[in-house]
Every structure is written in structure tokens, then in C-alpha cells.
Structure 1
Amino acid sequence: MSDPERVEVPVPSADAPVAERDRVVARVREHAGRLARELARLQGGDYGRRTFRVDGGEWTLKYEAGDLDFLRFEGRSGLDVYVVSTKTDPDAADLSTAMSHYEAFAAAFADYVDSLRGVLDDVPDTFPDIASTGEVAAERDRIVGRMRDAADRMAAELHRVEPTEYGTFAATIDGTRWELKREADRATYVRAGGEGGVYLVSQYAPPAPGDVRRYAPAFRGFVEAFNDEVEELSDSLDGVEL
């Protein structure tokens, strides 16, 4: 009788089929990688995918950063296998079935490329002259420059009575909140509309011409509100004698 604690059945080596599978996958990876780069060139961008239908099922090619990410075959018989993947290797039998449809996939890819030949033949390559924004920008800059000059004078006057490094003046004009922020005696910004509003005067980008058109007329009211504030300060000192 054999000893049940001793198992002497030899363990077969998987080296040969694994090596053959890896050889096939490596060849497909190289070939499909070239297809992926061509697809990326056609579709534009660094990331994308496309599915190609063949008689036996569908092949999906996905690329990232212009390189092959995966190649997947979904057969009509229910087979679903990632022939090339960054996560797992395919089963050898599934790979064999999928590869019987690979030539059809390559032909479908070639047909797709051929279908795009001449697609741009009737697209015009001449375009209308570009209209200049020079006059609009210059007028915007002129108006904003005058607003900045006024804002700087307001900041200087505020600094004379409030000799702090930073300060603000705010007023509501026709239901819109206006705010001037200063640093010492210079205006940092003039904003209309509160938080998230429009910066008519700024240390950064100038406002859009449409915003200037909308808010510039009300800037006069903001200056008048400032003058009224200064007048009230003057009145508060009337009658003070030393």
C-alpha cells in the first residue's frame, strides 16, 4: 500500500506555455502600441479610445499619453479578454481565441484610417481678416486711467485723515456696492458688486470693455459719495475751538 502522506505525482512546469503566451502578448503590445500612437495622432489629445467591430466581436483600443493602455476583445460568444493590459496577463486559451480575430481588427483599423483620407479636402484654408480691437482697448484704457487717477486722489485724501497703511472706502450706488481699497496713499483696487464683483481698477488685468460700459457711469456717483463723506468729516469739526 502507498503511504497517503507521500505524494509523488510530478508537478508539470508552466514555463513553456507561459513563455509562449508572453511572446504573443509582447508582439501584440508592440504592434497595437503603434496603432495606439496613430490613433492618438488622428483623434488628438493624450487620452482616448475607440472600438472596432469585426465579424467575431469588438476590439477596444485605449491609449494614455499617446501610448497603449489596453487592448480588449469582446467576442460574440461571450468571451471578454484583455489581450494587452497593464494589470493582468490573459489566459492562454482566451488569448488564442482572441488572436484568431486580430487580423480582422488590424484591417478594421486600416479601413478607419482610409475613411478619413480626403475628409478635409473641401475645408477652406483662407479666412476673413481679423478685426482690430486696438481702438476699443485704447478707449477702455483711457477711461480706466481716469478712474485710476481719481481713485488714487481719493486714496491720498483718505490717507491724510486715516494715516494707516491700509484702508477702505465703500458706498452703495443705485443698489450696487462700490469699494475702494488703498495701500497708504495709493488705490489698490476699485470694485463694483461686492465679493465676486468687477474690478474696475486693479493691480492686475484691466476690466472688459463691457464692464466699463456698464459701471463707468456709476463711478461718478461713487466719487460724489466720497465727497459727501469728506464734507461730513469737515462738518463734524465745525464749532470746535481750542
Structure 2
Amino acid sequence: MTEGVDFDVASAEEIAGQRDEVVAAVTDHAGTVARELALLQGGDYGQETFKTNAGKWTLKYEAGTVQYLRFKGKAGGETYVVSSQQPPDPDELATAMRDYDAFVRAYNDFVRSKEGVLDDVEIDFPAVESTDTVVSERDRVVGRIREVADVMAGELHRYDGVDYGTFTARVNGKRWELKREESRASYLRVGGQGGTYLVSQYEPPSAPDVRELADDFRDFVAEFNEYVDELEADLGHVTL
């Protein structure tokens, strides 16, 4: 082991401090750009790239704060001037900062290019027709369908003697299912799983669906009545 060796180790503290000071200033200034971009683009998240003679700058933001500011020079390589990871190399930072003013000018030009873009947009929109009449008619028809479905559920409850049950039939190639709880219809669904609910405990069906299926509901009731007639015929043969 060599004794008495005395090498001077250069301190990087001053250079690192200068670098951190520059990065802090850029972060603060670019934060203003990020907030303005968020306002312009109408969202808390996004990114934009700005071209300069020396390369490209990409600013990514989240909730109006800078996520990163990246400079990619035409000569190659890229520098994260602002980053949530490690700070940039001082030499690379110095190269990027020589083009920072050009980045700001590119951003300003970008904003100015949007000025007046909405000046000739017409906001005198046509009147919006009310759906009151259509909705009222839909509710009237659906209400009547529910009334009939409840009657059917009541008859099934009387016959089956249990609190829950279903009645299904095929009408014009579609599966109709009436599910009941005691004497009340829980739902009337057309088309199987993922089909249209003419009666449900949630939102009503659309008016076009009601218009399409209302006539078929008559056939569904006819199928139910035929089912009941068959039951009566079967019971007619019972002797005691």
C-alpha cells in the first residue's frame, strides 16, 4: 500500500449548484407555459412539441405542472432539461439552454396562430325541438304494457303458487321473457341477454324500441293466453 499519496479531488458542488439553479428557474418558467397549454387545450393532461432551428422541444404536463421538458437537437441526442428523474448533465443543459429562447418564441407563435380561429364561428344555433310529446306517448304505451304484464304476473303467481317465476315465448323469432316477483312484473325483456327491456325497474326503453315492439307485445299476450288455455284443458281431465 502506497503511503503519503495526496491527490486533489475537484469539487462539483459549485457546478451542481449552478445547474440546479438553472433547472429551478426553467421549471418555474416552463410551468407557466404548461398552465397556458392546459388552458388552451382544455385538459389537465397533455404534451406539445415545438420545433426550432436547432431541434425540437417537447413539454409534457399534468394538472398544469411540468412533467418533463425535453430538448432533442438536430445533431442528435436528447436532454431532459426538466424531469422527475435525475437532473441533466451540465454540458447538455448548457447546449439546450442556448436554444431555450427559441423554444419560448415557438410556443408564443403557436398561441398566436390560434388567435381569431373562432371569430367566424356561428353561435346562433337552431331551436331544439322538445321531446315532451314523444316521451309522453312512450310513457303511455309502456305504462299500459306494464299494466298488462302485471296482470300476467298475477295470474302466474296464482297458478304457480311460488313468489318468483318466468314466462317465455318466441314471437317473430325473438325470445320474450316475463320475470315476476309475486304478482308484479320485475321485467319484460325481448331478445335474450343484452336485449331490450320494455318493462324494468331502471330506465324506460327508447321510443323507437317501443314503436318496433308494441305490436309484437300483442302476440306475446296471445301466446300467454294460449298457454293458460292449455293449462285449463289439462286440468279439465283431472277427476277426484
Instruction: Pick the TM interval, shorter chain.
Output: over 0.9
User: In structure 1, what is the equivalent of residue 222 of structure 2?
Assistant: 224
CA contact under 8 A between 1:57 and 1:74: conserved in structure 2?
yes
Across the two proteins, how many residue pairs are aligned to each other?
Answer: 240
> Which residue type is aligned with residue 64 of structure 1?
E
Query: Using a 3 Å threshold, how does the CA distance of structure 1 residues 7 and 223 change in structure 2: closer, same or farther?
Result: farther
User: In structure 1, what is the equivalent of residue 211 of structure 2?
Assistant: 213
Query: Using a 3 Å threshold, how does the CA distance of structure 1 residues 8 and 140 change in structure 2: closer, same or farther?
Result: same
Q: For 1:58-99, what per-residue CA distance to the aligned partner results, in whole angstroms no more than 9, with x for missing partners? A: 001111223211111000111301111112211111011000
Alignment match of 1:237 (pick from 232, 235, 238):
235
Tell me by how many angstroms 1:6 deviates: 6.6
State how far apart, in whole Å, the 2-side matches of 1:7 and 1:145 are. 99
> Which residue type is aligned with residue 224 of structure 2?
F
Tell me by how many angstroms 1:16 deviates: 1.2
Structure 1 residues 133-172: aligned runs within 5 Å = 133-172=131-170
> Which residue type is aligned with residue 55 of structure 1?
N
**TM-score, length basis structure 2:** 0.96
User: In structure 2, what is the equivalent of residue 82 of structure 1?
Assistant: 80
User: In structure 2, what is the equivalent of residue 117 of structure 1?
Assistant: 115
Q: Which secondary structure does the structure 2 equivalent of 1:180 belong to?
A: strand
Query: Using a 3 Å threshold, how does the CA distance of structure 1 residues 175 and 8 change in structure 2: closer, same or farther?
Result: same
**TM-score, length basis structure 1:** 0.95
State how far apart, in whole Å, the 1-side matches of 2:46 and 2:65 are. 10
State how far apart, in whole Å, the 1-side matches of 2:3 and 2:161 are. 97
Q: For 1:132-155, what per-residue CA distance to the aligned partner results, in whole angstroms no more than 9, with x for missing partners? A: 111111111111111000111111
Structure 1 unmatched ranges of 5 or more? none
User: In structure 2, what is the equivalent of residue 186 of structure 1?
Assistant: 184
Alignment match of 2:125 (pick from 119, 124, 127):
127
Identity %, equivalent residues: 55
Tell me by how many angstroms 1:20 deviates: 1.0
Query: Using a 3 Å threshold, how does the CA distance of structure 1 residues 6 and 174 change in structure 2: closer, same or farther?
Result: farther
Q: Which secondary structure does the structure 2 equivalent of 1:90 belong to?
A: coil
Alignment match of 1:49 (pick from 47, 50, 54):
47
Deviates more, 1:48-57 or 1:65-74: 65-74
Query: Using a 3 Å threshold, how does the CA distance of structure 1 residues 7 and 231 change in structure 2: closer, same or farther?
Result: farther
